[in-house]
Amino acid sequence: MKEIILIKNGEIALKGLNRGNFEDMLIKNCKRHLRSVGDFKFSKAQSTIYAAPVGEPDMDAALERLSTVYGIAALSRAAVTEKDLGAICACAGEYLADQLSAVRTFKVETKRSDKTFPLGSPQISAEVGGWLLDHFPNLRVDVHQPDLVVNVEVRDFGAYVHAGQLPGAGGIPVGSGGRAALLISGGIDSPVAGCMMARRGLEIIGVHFASPPYTSDRALHKVEQLVQKMTPWCGRIYLYVVPFTKIQELIRDNIPEDYFTLVMRRFMMRIAEGIALREDCGALVTGESVGQVASQTMQALACTDTVTALPVLRPVIGMDKEEIVERARRLDTFEISIQPYEDCCTVFTPHHPKTKPKAADLDALEQALDVEALVREAVEAAQGRVFYLE
């Protein structure tokens, strides 16, 4: 029996004139995700993308792969048949035989987007339901709480039968909204923040600050593993690793201790901006959440914002740690994030960090350093490496 995957694109349907571009981008992303599974032929019609297998790829693996593609509202694995009532009945009976035999109650739901088909949706449901009752004596109809819903879709190019939809990853296709640079630590929050912005259509570039020997190779490896874990959601990610040791030592030696973290964060923003501009990124993304730590008070965030002209997107800003953790689990980044390796943020941590800093005070303190030259040097020294969806 011929099978197909029906990909329902959610919010894309709202995009008016851009709709074609969005759909093309979604198809491109789906293709990339399915490359390692097998060959599929794509077509689109009526807010649905059809992925038809060529040969016999592993359909379960294909569905799993597609479940992480942003821009997909729902997915169904369906049998394809002719637009003929007899063919639809026989197809439903054969394709869903195991499930129909295993349950006691069912109902049929029909969507008929081909308005030239001679029967209306309720009639199709009634006919298919009657046929199934005749062929599966164990079944009775329950329209309110059926064990199984048999879905029939009569569309332009064929009829489809399936046992329901799986939820898609939601959002809009990665790449449809441009690029942004994610400041990624080894923690829980920043990978979640990056994926949240990818879900809003942004392609993500990673920027990580490493301070060897204060931070180890293993800490860097952890970040690389995290970036790899993000690729099923974000697609290909270019990760820049910025050598940050010299700047941190200069901060330690020249800045009052209670301002260490703030000055360091301002350097991070400036350097990330430098890389972002080179990479044609329109924004920076961080995993900051108000009140989570001393450097994430409103006043501290204001002080970091003033050093960059790019918008700083902070998608987890109003989320509780618990909510962020829940998302990290769903993204499958959590287990890596909680491995106990040091981050450059934990090097030279002040005992009493300023929680209500003023940007003017920071500007004055930073006069002790050649900020511009240090930033330029760090941007130049950043090493890039690309991570692909495996």
Rounded alpha-carbon distances, angstroms, from residue 104 to 73, 136, 140, 148: 30, 10, 6, 8
Interface of this chain with Mg ion, residues 191 to 230, rule: CB under 5 A: none
By CB under 5 A, residue 187 contacts Mg ion = yes
How many residues bind Mg ion (CB under 5 A)? The answer is 3
Q: At 100, phi and psi to the nearest 5?
A: -65, -30
Among Mg ion, ligand ATP, none, the one that 206 touches (CB under a kind-dependent 5 to 8 A) is none
Interface of this chain with Mg ion, residues 315 to 344, rule: CB under 5 A: 343
Query: Between residues 187 and 201, which has the closer beta carbon with respect to ligand ATP?
Result: 187
Among ligand ATP, Mg ion, none, the one that 160 touches (CB under a kind-dependent 5 to 8 A) is none
Query: Between residues 153 and 288, which has the closer beta carbon with respect to ligand ATP?
Result: 288
What is the residue type of 127? E
Output the smallest distance, CB 102 to ligand ATP, in A: 45
Tell me the residue nearest to ligand ATP as measured from the CB.
187
Query: Could you list the residues that contact ligand ATP (CB under 6 A)?
Result: 183-185, 187-190, 207-209, 268, 286-288, 292-293, 295, 343-345
Q: How far apart are the C-alpha atoms of 278 and 14, rounded to whole Å?
A: 32
Given a contact cutoff of 8 angstroms between Cβ atoms, the answer to whether 317 and 346 are in contact is no
Among ligand ATP, Mg ion, none, the one that 295 touches (CB under a kind-dependent 5 to 8 A) is ligand ATP
Among ligand ATP, Mg ion, none, the one that 293 touches (CB under a kind-dependent 5 to 8 A) is ligand ATP
Q: Check whether the bond before 350 is cis (ω within 30° of 0).
A: no
Output the smallest distance, CB 353 to Mg ion, in A: 14
Among Mg ion, ligand ATP, none, the one that 366 touches (CB under a kind-dependent 5 to 8 A) is none
Output the smallest distance, CB 176 to ligand ATP, in A: 23
Output the smallest distance, CB 336 to ligand ATP, in A: 12
Query: Between residues 44 and 278, which has the closer beta carbon with respect to ligand ATP?
Result: 278
Query: Between residues 84 and 335, which has the closer beta carbon with respect to ligand ATP?
Result: 335
- The bridge status of strand 140-141 relative to strand 72-81 is unpaired
Q: At 39, phi and psi to the nearest 5?
A: -95, 130
Among Mg ion, ligand ATP, none, the one that 288 touches (CB under a kind-dependent 5 to 8 A) is ligand ATP
Given a contact cutoff of 8 angstroms between Cβ atoms, the answer to whether 136 and 128 are in contact is no
Output the smallest distance, CB 60 to ligand ATP, in A: 33
Query: What letter does residue 200 receive in the DSSP assignment?
Result: B
Total number of residues shown for the chain: 390
Among Mg ion, ligand ATP, none, the one that 190 touches (CB under a kind-dependent 5 to 8 A) is ligand ATP
Q: How far apart are the C-alpha atoms of 223 and 208, rounded to whole Å?
A: 8
Output the smallest distance, CB 62 to Mg ion, in A: 36
Output the smallest distance, CB 280 to ligand ATP, in A: 20
Q: Check whether the bond before 191 is cis (ω within 30° of 0).
A: no
Query: Between residues 146 and 353, which has the closer beta carbon with respect to ligand ATP?
Result: 353
By CB under 5 A, residue 185 contacts Mg ion = yes
3-state helix, strand, coil in the chain (%, to 5): 45, 25, 35
Contact window for Mg ion (CB under 5 A) among 48-56, 116-124, 186-194, 303-311: 186-194
Output the smallest distance, CB 70 to Mg ion, in A: 25
Among Mg ion, ligand ATP, none, the one that 9 touches (CB under a kind-dependent 5 to 8 A) is none
Query: Between residues 57 and 282, which has the closer beta carbon with respect to ligand ATP?
Result: 282
Output the smallest distance, CB 287 to Mg ion, in A: 7
- With b for 16 or more beta-carbon neighbours within 10 A and e for fewer, the 344-361 pattern comes to bbebbebeebbbebebee
Residues forming the site for Mg ion (CB under 5 A): 185, 187, 343
